[in-house]
Chain A
């Protein structure tokens, strides 16, 4: 299994509070991704990174920001959580374009 961990694994937070999710990899892969999974939508890309300090938006980036200050860590921040951001969040890594992505175990976030 690819060395990917996500923290926390579960979080309950209140509307309007900031939340940061962390993805950590030990594979030294260049590319990292954040997805969210919701019923009826499959997985949707939020943001991705193609190197340290190089990030870009995905399909559903509104309300989210990311940072990557070192190869192994990719942070996803919800500046002011809303109930619509209740979801399961997955981090993924890949070694390059045209390569498969490997996913972390997920973080279940509930915004009340």
Chain B
């Protein structure tokens, strides 16, 4: 049972335009959400996170929006740049217990074209 879903395996966007990557989750216990970016042959790189007490978090060109009632979050990249071409993973965790264990989505491959 996939608790974190990224239903779009790929996305193509022109340079300078907005990229919107979506993620849905089913576990209502999740209260911390993260986005990671991954280049081939490298480890995932942390991009941005959001706590469930917020509905928006912004860091430069990256903004994450959280809609708790819909169990949906999205990552906006504005403006998109060719270097943003990578696979983006959404992840979620439930704070508490012995550690923050991340549950990942299957990823969305973003291609930013010139």
Interface of A is mostly: strand
Q: How far, in whole Å, are A77 and B61 apart by their CA atoms in the complex? A: 40
Whether, in the assembled complex, A97 has its beta carbon less than 8 Å from a beta carbon of chain B, the answer is yes
Q: How many residues of B contact A (CB 8 A)?
A: 28
Nearest neighbor of B106 in chain A, beta-carbon distance: A42
* A101/B42 in contact, CB under 8 A: no
Whether, in the assembled complex, B104 has its beta carbon less than 8 Å from a beta carbon of chain A, the answer is yes
Q: Mark A91-109, 1 if CB is under 8 A from B, else 0.
A: 0101011111111111000
Whether, in the assembled complex, B89 has its beta carbon less than 8 Å from a beta carbon of chain A, the answer is yes
When the two chains form the complex, which single residue of A97, A100, A104 contacts B49, counting CB atoms closer than 8 Å? A100
**A residues 37-68 in Cβ contact with B at 8 Å:** 40-45, 48-50, 54, 56, 58-59
A58: min CB distance to chain B, Å: 6
Q: How far, in whole Å, are A6 and B100 apart by their CA atoms in the complex? A: 21
Whether, in the assembled complex, B43 has its beta carbon less than 8 Å from a beta carbon of chain A, the answer is yes
Q: How far, in whole Å, are A33 and B44 apart by their CA atoms in the complex? A: 13
The residues of B with any CB-CB pair to A shorter than 8 Å are 4, 6, 32, 34, 36, 41-46, 49, 51, 89, 91, 93, 95-96, 98-107
- 21 A-B pairs with CB atoms under 8 Å apart are A33-B99, A33-B102, A40-B106, A42-B104, A43-B102, A44-B104, A45-B102, A48-B101, A49-B99, A58-B101, A59-B103, A97-B96, A97-B99, A98-B100, A100-B49, A101-B34, A101-B46, A101-B102, A103-B44, A106-B42, A106-B43
